[in-house]
Amino acid sequence: MNPAAPISVLETLPYQIELDKEEFRLYHKLIVKFNPSLNLVSQKDVKELEIKHFLDSLAPKYFGLITDNNLKVLDFGTGCGFPGIPLKIAFPSLSMYLLEQSRKKAVFLEMAVKVLNLKETKILKGEAKNFLSIYHNYFDLLLSRATGPLKEVLKIALPLVKEGGKLIFYKGKGVEKELESVKEYLVKNNYPYETHPYLLTLREDGRNLLVIRKG
């Protein structure tokens, strides 16, 4: 894929159909209802939930990065459920683990999982470091969206992923600069990586999925 020509996911009909699912409508209503008290997303983003959060969360599906329903997946720092819940709706057979250290957001997640009737979905409350021993080399896939600098997140996230698994980081246009801070480490440990550029709207600068494969 040519990095100079990111594709616009909004131009694809399958995504329009995906967001018509009843689970997405219920999820939207929950966020709008509880956002004033829990500050789940910015007020500006409330008006563009479908594009900025639902559609963005589904980007790995567009690129064919998730094809197996029977994966153990960790959403590392999920907030109010992005990208984990949209991907769980799209791939119902995923075993989804939602990691969140904010108590208020964790309570919201528990309610959302119940209302949306999401099976095989577990909420992990607390900091990631508290789960390193329990879930060491456990997950097939780790997702990280808006969780912090790549170098810092990678240090904690890698031990949670099994050999042969992969990590997907949702990044902006500065992904190459962030990669410079970890490139030597990735090459040394033979962890292949690739980027997939895309647009949500024609007005934005562009986004990237950074995929790192562990072994």
At residue 9, the pLDDT reads 58
14 upstream amide cis, omega within 30 of 0: no
From residue 95, alpha-carbon distances to 9, 23, 122 in Å are 26, 17, 8
76 membership: H or E segment, kind and range: strand 72-76
Running along the chain, 215 residues long, what does each successive block of 10 average in pLDDT? 52 65 94 95 87 91 86 97 96 96 96 97 96 97 93 95 97 91 95 91 80 94
Domains of the chain: 7-213 (3.40.50.150)
**Spatial distance between the Cα atoms of 22 and 20, rounded to a whole number of angstroms:** 6
How many other CB atoms sit within 10 Å of the CB of residue 72?
A: 18
**Spatial distance between the Cα atoms of 174 and 191, rounded to a whole number of angstroms:** 20
Nearest to 56 by CA among 79, 33, 26, 37: 79
Total number of residues shown for the chain:
215
Could you tell me the pTM of the whole model? 0.92
49 membership: H or E segment, kind and range: helix 49-49
Residue pair 119/88 in contact (Cβ under 8 Å)? The answer is: no
Distance of CA 208 to the CA centre of its chain: 12
Q: What are the tokens at 168? A: 């997907």
Q: What are the tokens at 37? A: 């008290």
At residue 47, the pLDDT reads 85
At residue 2, the pLDDT reads 40
Question: Number of helices (H) and strands (E), helices first, in the chain?
Answer: 11, 8
**Spatial distance between the Cα atoms of 120 and 196, rounded to a whole number of angstroms:** 29
